[in-house]
Amino acid sequence: MFDPYADNEASPYVDSKRTVAFRSIQEQVPWSNSSVPDQRSVPNSPMPAPGRIPSPPPTSPVPSRRRSGGLRTGAIIALTLVLLIVFGVGLFAGWQFGRSGSTLNSNVGQLQPGSGGVAIVPPLTGKNQDTVREAVIAKVRPAAVEVNVTLGNGAGIGSGVIIDRRGYIVTSNHVVNGAQSINVVLFDGTKLTAQLVGTDPADDLAIVKINTSKNLAVATLADSSKLQVGQEVLAIGNPLGITQTVTNGIVSALGRTVSEGQGGATIPDAIQTDAPINPGNSGGALVDLQGNLVGIPTLTAIDPEFNTPASGVGFAIPSNRVNFIVPQIIANGSVTHTGRAELGVQITDVGPTLAAQDNLSVDHGALIVSVVSGSAASSAGLQAGDVIVQIGNTAVNDVSSLSDALATKNPGETVAVHIYRGSQQLTINVKLGELQAGG
């Protein structure tokens, strides 16, 4: 049976049907004090749990490479790329906005743009790329901030983006998780105390707020559904604690589903980019050449053979998801509508061994182990022992492909679920539910 709480095994293959280890972008760097354990370290584990970049001593240079002796205490646990992570009983999460833009509940306020001085980005003509990049950087960097946290066992550095003129800043949840205090450094060097407004661990998002009379620069959110593979993007943040750093690359792929592993966030529709994303970029800005925010960097891949960051394989939470979640947190202090479609079953991969053991009619698909009472699956008549082999026109060969088929579905949408029940082949229409916040 698929155990949602089991450690994910890293695979040496970066393949949508295989697993590859991931780590949160924040981790300790060589100047850190390895005698101070991270609050989320896993005892007796060869790979400690996700940590943060510890604040560097003022006079210490920033090393350009990692220590060759492996990961140290407080570094990041290997995280796993999967097409689905089962969170208890509410599974198979698709985004409400899908690929067509965000949809906010009518009682949730909109983000308020800033009125501070904003650089004008000229149209890209093919001959003025340098000028355009410089204008984009001038426009966005004033909205990018450094996020400093104090923990029970030390301190850490991350990134954030001013998202609302009232002083609301979006960052990654793992940047502020467990923080005893939070301070923000603005582009001009101003240091301000920040208050945690709310978090969304399932999406690895958090909102903090600063109070200032300054006319704040505010990032403008793009429609991430309009991104194209090959489009140039810039990443702005504080990699390795080097503040206000800009890197560039392209959109390498769209619609990825990445997971932070056991107990962590699962991010469908993630943006993959080869723009260098390093420890400390978490919570920062991924922007297009119009100077608009298209994503929040949050993960980078790990080469499973050498257990080191894979070059040019980073991931960001799409701006449409940010635009869906952040106003809810600002209005309510928490997420009230997840926008994730829920099937409501627990499943496991079907292979030749399980098929022979359970006398199944097929040797592929996703076996329903249990059905949640009152769930969409229960209402439609799906049963434990059913093997899902197709969703709509998409074949289901395992848990990952089932997730792939459902990741873009919306709550309330009806999908045709093709199953084997014993030797019978059935098609059951399921009206998908919405995953409850915290589910």
Which positions are annotated as active-site residues? 174, 204, 282
Rounded distance, CA 127 to CA 150, Å? 46
Structure tokens given for 22: 């991931």
Rounded distance, CA 376 to CA 345, Å? 9
Q: Measured in Å, how far apart are the chain's first and last C-alpha atoms?
A: 20
Q: How many CB atoms lie within 10 A of CB 201?
A: 16
Rounded distance, CA 86 to CA 109, Å? 31
Rounded distance, CA 423 to CA 98, Å? 35
- Residue 420 is given by DSSP the state E
Burial class (CB in 10 A: 0-12, 13-18, 19+), 395: middle
**C-alpha dist (Å) from residue 390 to 304, 354, 394, 402:** 31, 19, 6, 8
CB half-sphere exposure, 317, CA atoms < 13 A:
33
Pairing label, strands 345-349, 154-164: unpaired
Q: Three-class SS of residue 141?
A: helix
Q: Residue type at 267?
A: I
Rounded distance, CA 422 to CA 17, Å? 26
424 phi-psi bin (left φ>0, alpha ψ -120 to 50, beta other): beta
214 phi-psi bin (left φ>0, alpha ψ -120 to 50, beta other): beta
Rounded distance, CA 268 to CA 321, Å? 10
Q: Tell me the DSSP string of 324-371.
A: HHHHHHHHHSS-S---BEE--EEEEE--HHHHHHTT-S-SSSEEEEEE
Place of tokens 């098609």: 427
Structure tokens given for 401: 């492909």
- Residue 301 is given by DSSP the state E
Rounded distance, CA 95 to CA 253, Å? 18
Number of H helices, E strands in the chain: 6, 22
